[in-house]
Structure 1
Amino acid sequence: MQVKEGMDHLDTAKRSANMARIGGKDTAPELRVRGVAHRLGLRFRLHRRDLPGCPDLVFPKHRLVVFVHGCFWHRHEGCKRATTPQVRGDFWEAKFAATVERDARQRDALHTLGWRVLIVWECELKDDTALKALLALACGR
C-alpha cells in the first residue's frame, strides 16, 4: 500500500483494531493517580455508575470525584498532546467537540448533585509530588 499525503498509513482493519484496544478504565494514567491516592491513605471507589460520567475515582467522604483525562481525547487546551490527526479532520473535530461538550454536561450534573469535580490531565502526571499535593489539597489534608 502506498502512502499518499494526508492518508492513513494503516488499512481500515488495522486502524479499527488499534482503536478498539483503547480502553476507558484502568489506564496507566488512572492507575498512577490511584497509586498516589492509596499511598496518601485516601479511601475511594472506582467508576461509580450511579454518578454522571462514571468518574474514575470517587472520594465519598470528601464529596469529590476525579476524572483522569487523556490530553488527546479530552482536548487539554495548550497541551502539545492535544493534536488533531491530519486524516479525516472534520470527523475528528466533531468527535472531539462532542467529547468536550459531554464532559461539561457531566461536570455540571455532578455539581448540581453536590459533588466537587477534579480533572487530572495525563500530562500532569509526571511529577508524583505535585499530584500528591493536588490530591491532598482537594481532600483537605
Structure 2
Amino acid sequence: MLKISERKQLLRDLELAVFLADDNDDHEEAEEFMALYAFISSSPFIDDRTRRHRDDHFFVETFPTLNDDEFRSIFRTTRQGFAALVRQLEDHLVFSNNSRCAQLHPAWQIAIALARFGGAENGSSVMVNRYLLVLQ
C-alpha cells in the first residue's frame, strides 16, 4: 500500500476542514483553514530541515592508523596509489563548489568513492560501512 507523507495527509485534512467549515457557513474558520493550507503547501517540509554535522573521526583518528592490509582491503589500492590518485584529481572542478555547504576534502570524497566501488555488497562492505558510517 502506498504510504502517504505526514504533510500530504495534513493537506488532505485541511481540504476537508475547509469544505466542512464552508458547508456549515463558518466562513471565518474556512478562511483560517485556507490560510493554513496555503502556508503548509508553500513548503515541501513540515519541520525545519536541520543540517547533519559531519563527523571527521574516521579520517582524523582511524584512517591514519589503518595497517597496509586494512587500507588495501577497504580502498582496494595502496597508500601510495591513493596519494597519487588524490594528487591527480584534487584540483578538478568537480571538487570545488560555490555553495554555502562546503564539500568534503577531495581526499575524503575519493576515499569514500573507492570504498564504495570496492565494496560490491559482500561481507567486506559491512566493515567498510562501519568505518564510513559517520560520513553518510
Q: Same fold (TM over 0.5)?
A: no
Larger strand proportion, structure 1 or 2? 1
- If each structure's helix is expressed as a fraction of its own residues, which one has the higher value? 2
TM-score by length of 1: 0.26
